[in-house]
Structure 1
Amino acid sequence: MLSRNLLIILLLLSVLAGCSARNTPAPVVESNSTVAVGSKVKAEIKSDSYRVKKGETLYSIAFRANSDVRSIALLNNLSPPYRIFPGQILQINKKLTKASSGKGSSQTSTKSSGTTSQKSHNKAIATDKKAEYGDKTSGQKAHKNVPQPAKPFSQKIRRWQWPAKGKLVATFSTAPKGNKGIDIAGRRGDSVKAAADGTVVYAGSALRGYGNLVIIKHNDDYLSAYAHNDQILVKEQQSVKSGDVIAKMGDSDAKRVMLHFEVRFRGKSVNPLKYLPKK
């Protein structure tokens, strides 16, 4: 009888030990995301070259590099729709080389090339805040030796609208690590709307710090970004109209439920409040 009771006790102890053992945890994947949290890429790209990762687009890479997608495309001989593949090495910034010290015609050629390059560069980058915020730029003089773009130099957006209803809890900052957009607080599930007509060029969650992110291209000059969504309701290459619901507000990669909204002018962050209607 004693031996039977002892055997039963030993069996119970072995069962309890088995129940308390832990298996290896599964990779952490966020809600509405197919990307493991540990595999997310850093938000900013500061290097001169970059290796493409799965799920990225040239627009999302340019967004992280604070660069105009056309500049990166030009450096890498890419043409629309800018198809890239995982493992591809992209040049992000053009490396500067010292001018040759050769005499005669080579030196003259270098000076001429540098002058033309400088003029071309000035045409591709906004030289003042008026162009940045969509004012007229017809006062600029055209250079005969510089090819003129097929479309207007600065393309204005006819109408912007607020991307969400709610309280403005953070504004744009020009500080090195300041807020690159504005933050609008709300409730989970609130509608996030396109601020202007455009095409979705990124919809995913691979950018660390942005959560579920949507990027819309409005024209060759302007992009807008919508971060921390609970759900993304659009797909890449989908056309959207101003006011279309593109996502549901959430707190992915954020400490509270809110929408982080950015406007980019030729890759650079600009103050969204300069574009949105005054409340």
Structure 2
Amino acid sequence: MNNRRWIMSALGVLALLVVVWIAASLFLAPAYADEVPLSMEIRSRLLADYNPDDGQSLFTALRLSILGDTFRDQALSPQEAEKQRAALEAALNDPVPTATALDFEGNAPHTATSTITVTPTETLTPTPTFTPTNTPRPTATKTNTPKPTNTPKATNTPVPTDTAPPQINAWSLSPTPGPNLAQCNIQLTVDVIDPSYSEGVSIVEAKHLIPSATPVSYNHFTITGSGIFVSGPGSDWVGTFSGPISLSQVSALESFDVYFKVKDTAGNISGWSGPYSYSMDSLWNCP
């Protein structure tokens, strides 16, 4: 509908321009219709041929100055001849007005009415509709999950404990027990065995006892040397302890006794070993 309205408007504007053009031609034509005072001899006796050129004819160049010579030959004054030449040149330079000729019966020519050609509407090709295909669902396969195996509970293994007391395997005192001791140190060496189950031996404790003096004097010492498990942890443990017993508060010719015992890591204690008796020299005392 909008297409047709636009075409009708364009045709109306075109018709209006044609009418204005024809009116202007009819109005302006008399202005140039005055006769140019030319003699009949210079008018062409040839009929006008408005047929299309065949494209083979040659045009001869024509200078407009020849018009002035023609007017002067007509016995016109130079000013009048120049005026006529200028008017003719202006007329030749203006476009020739045209008008629509009447038909042979004197009627206005038939103007063809344009027919509006309806532009065919583009027909959309329907898009094929996708039909979903039923995809079969996978069949669930039942998987037998094995039940967990009953794991037997761990058996509580009793942990062995060290309950046996350590034992003195061998010992030595230097100097050996006896009279006339002329020094204040006695060197004690003890070989120890702690039967399995063993946690090892911690200390050897030594003391000297002066029956005539109080309090009793003790001297404690720790392991020196080495100690090992015979066949791995918990097995029999053997080792050697060695160290001095320092005497104190012992006078010349005074007698005293030496004792020692072993204590293992678990706290088990052997019995006292002794007494081993000494007496001081008459010229020696230990303050």
TM-score, length-normalised on structure 2?
0.21
TM-score, length-normalised on structure 1?
0.22
Higher relative contact order (CA 8 A, sep 6+): 1
Q: Which protein shows a greater Rg? A: 2
